Amino acid sequence: MSLKAPVLKSGATLDVKLKPADKKVLISTPHSAPASGYGLSLMRYTTLGRQDFVHGGLKLAPSAKAQLKFQNFDRSGEALPLSTSADGRSSTEKLHG
- Distance CA(96)–CA(22), nearest Å, equals 21
Dihedrals phi, psi of 19, to nearest 5 degrees: -115, 85
- Distance CA(77)–CA(19), nearest Å, equals 21
Q: What is the reported pLDDT for 76?
A: 67
How is the chain split into domains, by residue range?
Answer: 2-75
Rounded to two decimals, the pTM is: 0.84
Q: What is the reported pLDDT for 15?
A: 94
- Distance CA(41)–CA(63), nearest Å, equals 22
Among candidate residues 45, 55, 58, 49, the one with its CA nearest the CA of residue 78: 55
In DSSP terms, which residues pair with 71 in a beta bridge?
A: none
Q: What is the reported pLDDT for 45?
A: 82
Mean pLDDT by 10 residues, the chain (97 residues): 87 91 93 91 83 89 94 76 94 90
